[in-house]
Structure 1
């Protein structure tokens, strides 16, 4: 990956930065809620059905070492308990402890979990400005790398689906720790001109800042409730569309102290 010393390196997160994974998750979660409701014969009275389910989801994720990648069957069980009339946090705690009596059998819960994964495999939509932004970065000679904590094979598949795979030299799978960025930059030959574009302040922006990269925050549609405030993390830039990235990388837009638009 060695290149010219003046070549900018741009790391880009995948899910909810290049494509809208959150919309696919929302579709999958609402389908799971509907299936649990049908199985137990109860419906939530909540006006915002997605918010009802995501309160349970967040409570489970806060208790699990894998955070939002916890086993979906836990969500099935906690949702059944919440439909029985207890709040989301209590339902999550009870499902986590185990030993509960459920109306849904193990086979029913397993079938709902399987259908959840099937819906989760639906193709996502590309996010605003991505094709224009990546094309401009490629034309400017930038080295483009996807960095992800998700499964590399799934990221490759989605990159092909939305038509962006050809822009990237490599997909790097691994924990987004400062050491990962430093290790990759040692091969690019341009550590002084390195950027990270991501939608998560804690998972994308913070470790990249620690590694010395310029950071570009591209907020997605969903932020977990444990996410720090923008004012705490202070990304160098905040954008509303990916096609703003080339001007930043090419030095045509200055950063601001608060990491907002300049």
Structure 2
């Protein structure tokens, strides 16, 4: 596509930007914890049940080549070990290494996994201001694309069920690297008017900023403990509701001033 200096392209992350995927994962993880507890007859002494299972989840993700997409049966195994007294890192290491004696049999795992996947399939809630913000961007003639590392089919399903599909011109699935954003700039023909909106500083903001996109950070409810901090990435703007995006896109100078005020 040839360059169009008047085109405004807005790239938008899906999970935890358009909708609250984290809340779905949190519910699934707490339910998995309950399933393991009921089968081995032991409960966590911690009042914050999500924090308990998330500590195990993070320890597993740090060790697995697939990161947060590791097989859920590892979480089942490590959760049992943690309930029996192991520290999160110890439980993750032992579950990954295998060779442990478990109270849960191999026959117990499929039912827990099936319930976990069923919980993950629930439709997430749309995030604050998303419909209003997208409508203003679309009515103003912006080219809108979803950029996701998640399965495209699932993103399409959620966008359809949340009545967001018609706002977007295209959905792009791929690993979020500077090269992907360069290809998207070339694909859209956007000249100097390209924005990226996302909740991940290391996946949405950093790589997009590196190739010249103006970045809009929309913090979600969960950040992995290995994620960089905001000060090190320095997004161009920080918002608390998606309906703030149009004012930034069509008033970039005012938007930057407002963002700097929030940072101080």
Q: What TM-score bracket applies, with the shorter chain setting the length?
A: over 0.9
Q: Distance in 2 between matches of 1:246 and 1:209?
A: 19
| TM-score relative to the length of structure 2 | 0.95
Q: Distance in 1 between matches of 2:145 and 2:260?
A: 23
Q: Distance in 2 between matches of 1:30 and 1:78?
A: 14
User: Are the aligned partners of 1:239 and 1:261 in contact in 2 as well (CA < 8 Å)?
Assistant: no
Match of 1:255 in 2: 256
Q: Choose 251-260 or 144-153, whichever is displaced more.
A: 251-260
Distance change (3 Å), C-alpha of 1:261 and 1:9: farther
Distance change (3 Å), C-alpha of 1:239 and 1:121: same
Match of 2:206 in 1: 206
Secondary structure, in 3 states, of the residue corresponding to 2:255?
coil
Q: Distance in 1 between matches of 2:261 and 2:29?
A: 32
For the pair 1:188 / 2:204, whether they are aligned, the reply is no
Q: Distance in 2 between matches of 1:210 and 1:106?
A: 47
Specify which structure has the higher proportion of helix: 2
User: Are the aligned partners of 2:196 and 2:215 in contact in 1 as well (CA < 8 Å)?
Assistant: yes
Q: Distance in 2 between matches of 1:18 and 1:3?
A: 28
- Shift of residue 161 of structure 1? 1.1
Secondary structure, in 3 states, of the residue corresponding to 2:191?
coil
- Shift of residue 260 of structure 1? 6.1
For the pair 1:64 / 2:67, whether they are aligned, the reply is no
Q: Distance in 1 between matches of 2:210 and 2:243?
A: 25
Q: Distance in 2 between matches of 1:126 and 1:134?
A: 12
Structure 2, gaps ≥5 residues long: none
User: Are the aligned partners of 1:236 and 1:260 in contact in 2 as well (CA < 8 Å)?
Assistant: no
Match of 2:224 in 1: 224
Match of 1:119 in 2: 119
Moved over 6 A (4+): none
Offset from partner CA, 1:201-222 (integer Å, 9 cap, x none): 1111111111111100000001
Q: Distance in 2 between matches of 1:258 and 1:88?
A: 38
Match of 1:75 in 2: 75
Q: Distance in 1 between matches of 2:5 and 2:230?
A: 32
Match of 1:14 in 2: 14
Structure 1, gaps ≥5 residues long: none
- Shift of residue 164 of structure 1? 0.6
Match of 1:172 in 2: 172
Distance change (3 Å), C-alpha of 1:237 and 1:123: same
- Shift of residue 190 of structure 1? 1.6
Secondary structure, in 3 states, of the residue corresponding to 2:197?
strand
- Shift of residue 107 of structure 1? 1.7
Q: Distance in 2 between matches of 1:114 and 1:3?
A: 48
Q: Distance in 1 between matches of 2:152 and 2:248?
A: 27
Q: Distance in 1 between matches of 2:118 and 2:89?
A: 27
Match of 1:136 in 2: 136
User: Are the aligned partners of 1:16 and 1:22 in contact in 2 as well (CA < 8 Å)?
Assistant: yes
Match of 1:89 in 2: 89
Q: Distance in 2 between matches of 1:56 and 1:117?
A: 18
User: Are the aligned partners of 1:236 and 1:257 in contact in 2 as well (CA < 8 Å)?
Assistant: no
User: Are the aligned partners of 1:151 and 1:173 in contact in 2 as well (CA < 8 Å)?
Assistant: yes
- Aligned residue pairs, count: 262
Distance change (3 Å), C-alpha of 1:31 and 1:151: same
